Amino acid sequence: MHKSLAIIAGILGVVFLILAFVYWTTPASSLPTYLPGYDPAMGGIHFKHGLAALIVAVGLFIVVWFKTGKK
């Protein structure tokens, strides 16, 4: 159970890390429409959305660290 939770948290951590990179490098008008923050009229990036995704990724990596550490 602990190993599968660590694997799932690790995969989700990588996904949120990629999502943070997308938010910081893609203008809001060019984001996919299914992502929060898509705005066809806005030309800038969503720094706060990227920061939130990064914080979630770090939290998930901390979960992996604690689940895979020595008992």
Per residue in 46-59, pLDDT tens? 888 999 999 999 99
Backbone CA torsion sign across 24, 27, 32, 36:
positive
User: For the chain, how many residues are written?
Assistant: 71
- When divided into structural domains, the chain yields a total of 1
List, for residues 18-56, the tens digit of each pLDDT value: 999 999 998 888 888 888 877 777 778 888 899 999 999
Residue where the block lists tokens 């800038």: 44
Structural domain range at position 35: 2-68
Q: How far apart are CA 28 and CA 32, in angstroms?
A: 9
Q: How far apart are CA 47 and CA 69, in angstroms?
A: 33
pTM of the entire structure? 0.86
> What SS3 state is found at 1?
coil
